Amino acid sequence: MIARLKNRDYKRAIAARLSGDDDYGEIPYGGETQMQFTRAMFVTMGRLAKLDGRVTEAEVHFASSTMKLMGLDAAQRQCAIDFFYTGKQDNIDATPYLRQVVRLAGAGSQLSRAFLKLQCRLAFSKGHIRLKEKILLRDVAEVLGFNKAELLRIYTEIQVIDVPRQGGDRTLLSRAYNILQINTDADDNEIRKAYRRLMARYHPDKLGQQANSLEAQRRAREQFQAVCTAYETIAGFRKMTNP
């Protein structure tokens, strides 16, 4: 209980940032809480990325984007890179780090859910989730206080589709191309151009000028997130470099 009371402003701010409720809100220094949360985040990401024996450019790009989203400075970013590398090592067990998240944030909390969703999005960055990744994500969800039904809801949110996943990877990939408004035979440069164009259109910096209601802002944030997820899906499938 005492641990959860420490650095409450940091936890409130980072939860809002990672959940998309306040994408550019200031994140105060969180002391040891911040270090433990960052360690858990990137050790788990490193473990998840290396499960199939290789780390793709899409996964590296996603981890780098997460560091930026978390507002890490240069020194904190280097620590996050080191934690990611630690997670890549054989036989690393992420469970002790996940338990720190629960101790700090609480099981089933908004911050714990945001943590889990980021791990799921990393797994989807390769185009689809493999069996080993599903097993690890199920274990991560359980430690953080989420059941299988909630994990599946998060999967659905990430895929940005309203139909069941029976269509498999083709459904996910086709949806990604549709979101970027390009054909499946588009070359890599066309994909990057489409991604940059849509990111500029839906970037949160423009919400204040173009969105005059909370509902409009919410929809714009969802579109922005959908574009990010779509690019990560295609980039992972094609093994593309950074946009």
Q: What is the CATH number of domain 167-238?
A: 1.10.287.110
Q: What is the DSSP string of 11-25?
A: HHHHHHHHHTSSTT-
Confidence at 166, pLDDT banded by 50, 70, 90: very low
Summarised one tens digit per residue, pLDDT across range 171-230 is 667 778 888 888 888 888 999 999 988 888 877 666 555 556 666 677 777 788 888 888
How far apart are alpha carbons 130 and 133 in whole angstroms?
A: 5
- Name the CA dihedral angle for 48, 52, 57, 61, rounded to a multiple of 10 degrees: -10
Q: What is the pLDDT of residues 80-97, one digit of tens each?
A: 999 999 999 988 999 999
Q: Which CATH number fits domain 2-159: 3.10.450, 3.40.50, 1.10.3680, 1.10.357?
A: 1.10.3680
